[in-house]
Amino acid sequence: MNTRPNRILGVVVGGIIVVAVVTAVFAATRPVTTRDSGTPDGAVQAYLSAVLKGDNEEAAGFLAPDSRCDVQDLDRTNVVEAARVDLIDTEIDGDSARVTVEVSFSSGGGPFQGSATEDHTFRLSRSGDRWLLVGLPWPLYDCGGGVK
């Protein structure tokens, strides 16, 4: 049996594994660009940063005053801390804006650990020099069922 093809295959597979590991390390350690919270995408970034670190009081500060949602609604959410959020698009139309992000996270552990990716669009309204979230921003799906 000729082992030369097996050695070549082993070297190729090993090289692919090394490239994958280097890519994963680079992606995990790249610096996060902090955006100006006075912009729609900056307001969404600050809101999501607060949500992911569990600071619901800070996150609620980015909700519009007439929002159906409040800090108690945020307290009831269950967010995976290791979620990764990437900005997809920002659209501004006067005093309204839409920011779309992609949220990626691992689902559980064990031998069949999977991952999920979801797109979420945040709607914002300008209030003075701030942008505030309106509607039901992720990770909220239900805010008491009535207008607050």
pLDDT string in tens for the chain (148-residue length): 567 767 777 777 777 776 666 555 555 555 567 777 789 999 999 999 999 888 999 999 999 998 888 899 998 887 766 788 899 999 999 999 999 999 987 766 666 667 788 899 999 999 999 999 998 999 988 886 544 4
Residues 51 and 93 in one domain: yes
User: How confident is the model at residue 148, as a pLDDT?
Assistant: 42
Contact 51, 59 (CB under 8 A): yes
Residues 22 and 61 in one domain: no
Residues 61 and 108 in one domain: yes
User: How confident is the model at residue 107, as a pLDDT?
Assistant: 65
Residues 71 and 104 in one domain: yes
Domain membership of residue 141 (yes or no) is: no
* Total domains in the fold of the chain: 2
User: Taking phi first (over 0 means left), then psi (-120 to 50 degrees means alpha), and beta for anything else, what does residue 87 get?
Assistant: beta
* Cα-Cα end-to-end distance for the chain: 76
Domain membership of residue 126 (yes or no) is: yes
Domain membership of residue 148 (yes or no) is: no
Residues 25 and 54 in one domain: no
CATH classification of the domain holding 48? 3.10.450.50
User: How confident is the model at residue 147, as a pLDDT?
Assistant: 46
Q: Which domain holds residue 5?
A: 1-30
User: How confident is the model at residue 59, as a pLDDT?
Assistant: 93
